[in-house]
A = this chain, B = another copy of it.
């Protein structure tokens, strides 16, 4: 990536948010020869004391990448940046904001002539080494300007296989939202398969080996499959893991967008509902079904101890 390094040698970026993701991204950007000034509310990891200091430490026109939790925190960072940045600067929200937030943030920054882009970022903790899949929304001019940063963050290989300019502002986060919706359903699909294999231990003598053997040649091979093999090799019966699964906003937003646009999403919604159930100690709905069966059929119910 010599060419990329040359291009990015004079490149400078402000990075707001140095948590798990932000910190890894800083490393990757530095590795590509980009000068990173980082800000975090935790002074132990922050390069500057305030966002005003961040602005002062960067040469105009500035690029500031925001990598903080979606919602109120992103809101307040964008509001504060609107006060400390200048006309011609560019803010990129790389967090997991809902795409509708982008319209608001872009308008807010546009008032003082600050440009805005949104970047959906995929790759998790593996991004540091593998690079991050990037889906960005904004003007062509903004994309061109920030390309050395995208090139530094994205995986090696052809640019089009790890980076896309999806459309105007908001489109990057929309694409990321859909990506995560798909991700939920893919995970659920493998999980159902796992349970089918695990349940028939009378027939399937090597569950881990079966998943492992699917890694080459088969139709179901994928990165998630590789991670499942990795997890099974660490804990073949998942003895140390509870079947309790959180969900972040993007899966829910995907359903809401599907509903709003009359798009049927049976597998994505099934995946979310399975997570909801996984977190319930007891199901009010199934109590109601048990009560109904008892009423009409005299079927015995399982009494609470």
Contacts and interface: CB of A to CB of B under 8 A. Distances in A.
Contact of A196 (B131, B167, B261, B292): B261
Contacts of A174: 200, 203-204
A231 interface: yes
Interface string A148-185: 00000011110011111111101100110011011101
A266 B270 contact: yes
A110 interface: no
A258 B227 CA distance: 24
Contact of A164 (B183, B209, B224, B303): B209
B283 A262 contact: no
Nearest to A243: B286
A166 B242 CA distance: 26
Contact-size category for A = 35 or more
Interface in A233-276: 235, 238-246, 252, 254-276
A30 to B, nearest CB: 18
B192 A291 contact: no
A174 B203 CA distance: 8
A84 interface: no
A144 to B, nearest CB: 16
Contact of A231 (B160, B224, B231, B291): B291
Interface of A: 20, 99, 122-127, 130-135, 154-157, 160-168, 170-171, 174-175, 178-179, 181-183, 185-200, 203-206, 209-210, 212-225, 227-228, 230-232, 235, 238-246, 252, 254-279, 282-299, 301-304
